[in-house]
A and B are shown apart, each in its own frame.
Chain A
Amino acid sequence: MRRDVFQAIADPTRRAIIFLIATQAMTPNAIADNFNVTRQSVSKHLRILAECELVKPEQKGREIYYSLEIEKMKEVDKWLDKLRKIWETRFDQLDKVLSNMKKHKK
């Protein structure tokens, strides 16, 4: 099953991981140190985030560093833009209606 970005951020631990690595790439151990969860659990969450392309693993020596894919995070804002555009369209239409109403009043 293909995972998607919205599923990925539904989990509070994964959201916390996203925050943690937003500013710097980190190893699973370093991430685990920040939470009250096991290294195994962090790895599982990282795998899900990686499958959704929200994080990118990078091998550096013996360690794997995970960093955030900023562009992918932006997708979550897209639907809000859609809603905003609906209102823009509506109000542009209303501007025209009001302009007609004004003319008829005169």
Chain B
Amino acid sequence: MNNDLLFDFTVDKASKTVVITREFDAELSLVWDAFTKAEFLDQWVAPKPWTSKTKVMDFRVGGRRFYAMVSPEGVERWAIQRYTSITPKTNFKMYNAFADKDENPELPGSEWDYSFTEKADRTIVRITIYNESLERMERMIEMGFTEGFRMSLKNLESLLESLSNNRK
């Protein structure tokens, strides 16, 4: 892939916020579709060898996406994303929570904010993730990596706390 595409990943441990900025070599309308339509999302959101399976996708304020990340062994990890704000081709926000297969959410979840900006023929997407519980971040990692990098919630909390203190 293009190596000159901007990619920035920062973690503000104090505010439990992850900010990811990425440039894409495509016009805004395509990128917007790739982030807001199930048929495209399922093609990329699951880091291989995991796959994504969307059961429900209703992209409107108050609507939801109910989907699973499926492991190579067929284990399904369900999650619900509820859309809280949509400004077409500019920004959308959602609340993401892990869930069981019957759509019962496990709270707390995390707040996601996606911003889209077009620059020349490229599109810059900025994703801000606020995690109320840092356990979720750990689970995100678990879902992407089968090699097993395991830490308890407490470990992770204290780690982040420590790192944020280090910056002061």
Contact = CB atoms under 8 A, between A and B. Distances in A.
Interface of A: 4, 6-7, 9-10, 12, 15, 19, 76-80, 82-99, 101-102, 105
Contacts, number: 105
Interface in B6-47: 7, 9, 11, 18, 20, 22, 24-26, 30-31, 33-34, 40, 43-47
A15 B26 contact: no
B1 A83 contact: no
B40 A101 contact: yes
Given A10-B158, A76-B163, A92-B1, A86 B47 contact: yes
B43 A97 contact: yes
Interface residues of B, number: 43
Nearest to B144: A86
Interface in B79-98: none
Most buried by A among B11, B137, B155: B155
A5 to B, nearest CB: 8
28 contacts: A6-B151, A6-B154, A6-B156, A7-B155, A7-B158, A9-B158, A9-B159, A10-B157, A10-B161, A15-B165, A19-B166, A76-B159, A76-B163, A82-B141, A83-B11, A83-B137, A86-B141, A86-B145, A87-B22, A89-B48, A93-B43, A93-B47, A94-B44, A95-B1, A95-B2, A97-B34, A98-B25, A98-B31
A75 B102 CA distance: 38
A89 B25 CA distance: 16
Interface of B: 1-2, 5, 7, 9, 11, 18, 20, 22, 24-26, 30-31, 33-34, 40, 43-48, 137-138, 140-141, 144-145, 149, 151-152, 154-159, 161-163, 165-166
B44 A93 contact: yes
Contacts of A105: 30
